[in-house]
Amino acid sequence: MGKKLNKITVVGGGSWATANIKMLIDNTTEKEIFWWMRNAEAVEHLQKFAHNPHYLSSVEIKLPEQNISTNLKPLIAAADIVLLNVPAAFLKEALKDITAADLKGKKIVSAIKGIVPDENLIIAEFLHQKYDISFDDFMVISGPCHAEEVALEKLSYLTIASGDTELASEFAGMINTRYIKTNISDDIYGTEYGAVLKNVYAIASGICHGVGYGDNFQAVLISNAIRELERFVAAVHPIDRDIKESAYLGDLLVTAYSQFSRNRTFGNMIGKGYTATSAQLEMNMVAEGYYAVNCLHEVNKQYGVSIPICEAVYAILYQKRSPVIEMRNLAEKLS
Ligand SMILES: NC(=O)C1=CN([C@@H]2O[C@H](COP(=O)(O)OP(=O)(O)OC[C@H]3O[C@@H](n4cnc5c(N)ncnc54)[C@H](O)[C@@H]3O)[C@@H](O)[C@H]2O)C=CC1
Ligand SMILES: O=C(CO)COP(=O)(O)O
């Protein structure tokens, strides 16, 4: 496989980046960890007090001072592996000074569950087209796993998908801990699109709750959602996959039902009458599904898959349709 990979740079300062750093630190294989975030005040706080002031602030993160910085280029130069963990909507901005030459020879991991807006590309495609990263040098981490539960060391399972499953196994060896188990997959498209879609279904689930539907309806919504997800990923990347695996169904369930879900919380606020902007501001966290549903609407023009749940969420968020009326119309299409 080539040289041992043991220098890793995490790009992003949110909850999931903080949880990923915790997993990397708690895993006992020898490694050096570097951490980039854009917020200088947060970097200073971490260097002084070993806690992220804004996200998962109870988690202790002890890294050498010089390994945490707002200056991305040298941190990327130092790394064998670059783990991308900013919301997809801010990925281009985060990488604005980084060239394909800077990433040449690196292995790239995406912990992002989103589509790059304007480009309408999942992360693997975006990095391939813009940075010449091959699918064999790329990995995506997904699966039902909330940062808040990682902070509490609750048992969680992640799936790592890559064009090179040996590489994915090597990376799994860097994050496995007492509380993190890993599965390996070669389904980059299904894993990425599955994670993107489940965020939209969690928004739908939140909207339904917000407008007054109960658990009975939510169960029907989510069983329709998994079929919609299966249809969509089969159209985009038709391979033999079991949609009941935890990277697909598991991730949908945790997001649609958990108190920690950003997307569900966001949807609930939309159902209660908040605007998208005020809901995002109120949460201080990013609901990827908000951006993703607009991209999916565009991507699906090419495939023409029947995705009524996505279309209902799109109509509510981007065409300012009434959540009550859209959900009533959607309910007629579910079975
Ligand atoms: N939080 C979780 O439990 C999990 C999150 N993910 C994925 O991880 C990725 C990162 O999400 P989280 O860590 O949850 O984010 P978060 O919601 O905890 O934090 C928001 C992040 O977005 C950044 N941000 C906000 N506004 C920005 C702007 N204008 N420009 C640049 N950056 C800005 C913040 O600095 C922060 O890093 C997303 O793709 C998410 O779907 C995946 C699995 C679990
Ligand atoms: O993908 C996630 C958990 O697997 C995080 O997204 P939510 O916070 O919306 O659940």
Domain 7-186 has CATH 3.40.50.720: yes
Distance 286 CA to ligand 1 centre (A): 5
Distance 150 CA to ligand 1 centre (A): 15
Predicted interface score ipTM higher than 0.90: yes
Delimit the domains of the chain by residue range: 7-186, 190-333
Q: What is the pLDDT of residues 302-334, one digit of tens each?
A: 999 999 999 999 999 999 999 999 999 999 999
DSSP 242-304: -TTSIIIIIHHHHHHH-TT-HHHHHHHHHHTT--HHHHHHHHTS--HHHHHHHHHHHHHHHH-
The reply to whether 198 belongs to the active site is yes
- What is the spatial distance between Cα 239 and Cα 229, in angstroms, rounded to a whole number? 14
Residues making up the annotated binding site are 15-16, 38, 55, 90, 113, 143, 147, 198, 251, 261-263, 286, 288
The confidence band for 2, taking pLDDT boundaries of 50, 70 and 90, is: low
Which is the catalytic residue, given 31, 198, 272, 333? Answer: 198
Q: What is the pLDDT of residues 268-291, one digit of tens each?
A: 999 999 999 999 999 988 999 999
User: Which protein residues are within 6 Å of ligand 2, measured from CB?
Assistant: 113, 144-146, 199, 202, 251, 254-255, 258, 260-263
Task: Pick from 16, 110, 209, 261 the residue to mutate for probing ligand 2's pocket: most ligand atoms within 8 Å of its CB.
Answer: 261
The answer to whether domain 7-186 and domain 190-333 are alike in fold is no
Q: Return all residues near 334 (Cβ < 8 A) that are at least 6 apart.
A: 220, 221, 224, 308
Distance 285 CA to ligand 1 centre (A): 6
Cα 39 vs. chain centroid, distance in angstroms?
A: 20
Q: What is the pLDDT of residue 199?
A: 98
- What is the spatial distance between Cα 211 and Cα 231, in angstroms, rounded to a whole number? 27
Put simply, whether the predicted model's pTM sits higher than 0.90 gets the answer yes
Residue nearest to atom 7 of ligand 2 (CA): 261
Instruction: Tell me: pLDDT of 1 over 60.
Output: no
**Minimal CA–CA distance to 262: which of 244, 232, 284?**
284
Residues making up the annotated binding site for sn-glycerol 3-phosphate are 113, 143, 198, 251, 261-263
Q: What is the pLDDT of residues 61-103, one digit of tens each?
A: 999 999 999 999 999 999 999 999 999 999 999 999 999 999 9
Instruction: Tell me: pLDDT of 181 over 90.
Output: yes
Instruction: Tell me: pLDDT of 251 over 90.
Output: yes
Which sign does the torsion angle of CA 201, 182, 188, 305 carry?
Answer: negative
Q: What is the pLDDT of residues 98-144, one digit of tens each?
A: 999 999 999 999 999 999 999 999 999 999 999 999 999 999 999 99
* Structural domain 190-333, CATH architecture: Orthogonal Bundle (1.10)
| DSSP letter assigned to residue 113 | -
